[in-house]
Structure 1
Amino acid sequence: MTYIAQENRYEQMKYRQIGRSGVKLPAVSLGLWQNFGGDKPFEDSRAMILRAFDLGVTHFDLANNYGPPPGSAEETFGNVLKKDLASYRDELFISTKAGFYMWPGPYGEWGSRKNLLASLDRSLQRMGLDYVDVFYHHRPDSGTPLEESMGALAHAVKSGKALYVGLSNYGPEETKQAAAILKNLGTPLLVHQPMYSMLNRWIENGLQDVLADVGAGSVAFCPLGRGQLTGKYIDKLETEFKTGLRTLKPEAVSQERINKFRALEAIAKRRDQTLPQMALTWALREGGVDSVLIGASRVGQIEENMQAVHAEPLSAADLQEIDHVMHKIGDIPW
């Protein structure tokens, strides 16, 4: 059956200008970090990608190592592009990254020119693309001169294999230095992709100021705290507290921590939101990030999370209450 995108898709999304560029990204973007690899049924992945596009998601975020197995998420996305979205390519904003381990030997990870450009070629081949919209360096590499890594990113743009460049997991000072190098090379930094959520606010300690100064935008990954800001996680906490069984870190399982998460749920319920929806609304607030990357294991999760786009902004009282609750939860991942 031939896929035809919904005509009203752009009416269902809000778009935000990214830094000092002409790029506008959807407030909620789809990340293919998990549940889109070769270990998952293709039709499930296809259904989620197409439903996201029908809801106005234009930005699809990948990396060379996404799967599992590594590389297979790009292959899945490439197959959906070929089967369904080829005619919509100019409406899509596709990003990929390189920097984590992909193949044996000294050139299979980190930030050398050799690794980054070879990885980009492999990513393009897996997706069946001539270019990506953004090519990220996925993590800083203290073993490679920053000038070399940034030079590779700039070369990707100048060779026509990427339109823009980005950074991920870089700290404030590293970002400032990288942005200066990129500017001198004539390839300005478009966007930074940090981890950011109510549970992890590290970017507020300098990175946001740097991004504002250099004119770059921000797209957050793990805005739901790696699943901690979901009812499923809280239910798991309660079960482990009651039974004594432990799959979570022992320090995460306490009545006080359960009470704090339930308090967040109560704030969300008062706003007619689920906790995940409120967590996304929070990340997208003024002073937060430009776009959030959601993951998904089923279409219903995408539909639920997209409702955060049109939610009422959090009031000053809401924000104060959330800060009071979060102050004592802390970030204890799975």
Structure 2
Amino acid sequence: MTYQASPARYEDMVYRRAGRSGLKLPAISLGLWQNFGGTRDYPGAFAILGRAFDAGITHFDLANNYGPPPGSAEELFGKVMAHDFKPYRDEIIVSSKAGYHMWEGPYGEWGSRKSLIASCEQSLKRLGLDYVDVFYSHRYDPNTPLDETMGALATLVQQGKALYVGISNYPEAETREAHRILSDLGVKPILHQPSYSALNRWIETDRTIDACGELGIGIIAFSPLAQGVLSGKYNSGDTKGSRGTSNNPFLDAAKIKPETLAAVDGMAEIARSRGQTLPQLALAWVLRRPEVTSALIGVRTLEQLDDNIGALSNLDFTAEELAAIDKACAGGLTDGKPRW
């Protein structure tokens, strides 16, 4: 049966401008980092992707190495684009990135011109697209001149292979310099994609979020649920299928501090007082900042997707609620600042 998008898909979604660009993104975007690789079949993937688009989620975030295995998320999404989403291409924002390890040899990672342009070409083939809407430098490369990395991004726009460019995991000083270089090239970065959650506030302490606000760069926050910690599953002990029990090098459930689990309990109590689930509270907290364009979710089930979207029904906080969240999280904060 041919997929037909819901005619009501734009009725309830909130859209926010990406910095000072003309591009608007849904307040909730869907990432395909770990749940849409070789372990996910087409029907299961499309059930989530189609439900997301029907709910007004127009932005789907990928990278060259998303899977597992690397590249498989783009391949799977490319099949969805060709089979189901093709009539809606102009309603959809597809983003990809390059910077982390993708292939062997000296050009398969980091930020050289060779690596970024070759990677974008490979991503377009896997996706079956002529262009991506946003292409990111996935991480700052301390060993490549920044003007080379940013020059490669500008070239991709000039070649029509990307409509916009962004950066991800860049600290404050490097964010400012990337913006300066790209502005001189006539291609301003419109998005910065850092990790950001109530338990991981490095972009606040580093002042990266302030720099983005000043420069007109929108923030799209990844891991707003702190890689599942703010789902509450690690507190309940129901971790079946969760990221902490998967082969995820970024999270080891056994190493979650007791202070962090206590912070989650405190957040859950505040969520109940607001009539929200814990994930909804965590997403609303990220979206409270005007610099934040979108919160990037990763879900395994339709139930998780629907619950996350439900955050949009209550995005306002009182000063007392924000103070209570700060107090609850004080002992459980983690240092998520990127390391090279």
TM range (shorter): over 0.9
> Which string of whole-angstrom CA distances, capped at 9 and with x for unpartnered residues, describes residues 232-290 of structure 1?
1211399xxxxxxxx734562x3x55443222111101111110000000000035622
Larger-gyration structure (1/2) = 1
Which structure 2 residues correspond to residues 140-219 of structure 1 after superposition, within 5 A?
140-205=140-205, 206-219=207-220
Percent identity over the alignment is 53
Q: Which amino acid aligns with 2:69?
A: P
Q: 1 CA distance for matches of 2:132 and 2:40?
A: 24
Which structure 2 residues correspond to residues 58-137 of structure 1 after superposition, within 5 A?
58-137=58-137
Change over 3 Å in CA distance of 1:87–1:155 after alignment to 2: same
Q: Which amino acid aligns with 2:237?
A: K
Change over 3 Å in CA distance of 1:72–1:251 after alignment to 2: closer
Q: CA deviation at 1:299?
A: 1.1
Q: Which amino acid aligns with 1:91?
A: E
Q: Which amino acid aligns with 2:30?
A: L
Change over 3 Å in CA distance of 1:324–1:72 after alignment to 2: same
How does the TM-score come out when normalised to structure 2?
Answer: 0.92
**Is 1:226 matched with 2:227?**
yes
Question: Which of 314, 327, 330 is matched with 1:327 structurally?
Answer: 330
Q: CA deviation at 1:227?
A: 0.6
Q: Determine the structure 1 residue equivalent to 2:248.
A: none
Q: Determine the structure 2 residue equivalent to 1:272.
A: 275
Q: Determine the structure 1 residue equivalent to 2:253.
A: 248
Q: Determine the structure 2 residue equivalent to 1:19.
A: 19
Q: 2 CA distance for matches of 1:197 and 1:281?
A: 10
RMSD between aligned residues: 1.6
5+ unaligned residues in a row in structure 2: which ranges? 240-251
Q: 1 CA distance for matches of 2:110 and 2:272?
A: 44
Q: 1 CA distance for matches of 2:83 and 2:183?
A: 38
Q: 1 CA distance for matches of 2:97 and 2:128?
A: 16
Change over 3 Å in CA distance of 1:141–1:268 after alignment to 2: same
The SS at the match of 2:229 is: coil
**Is 1:299 matched with 2:302?**
yes
The SS at the match of 1:290 is: strand
The question of whether the paired residues in 2 share the 8 Å contact of 1:94 and 1:133 is answered with yes
Q: 2 CA distance for matches of 1:155 and 1:116?
A: 10
The question of whether the paired residues in 1 share the 8 Å contact of 2:288 and 2:315 is answered with no
The question of whether the paired residues in 1 share the 8 Å contact of 2:131 and 2:162 is answered with yes
The question of whether the paired residues in 2 share the 8 Å contact of 1:237 and 1:258 is answered with no
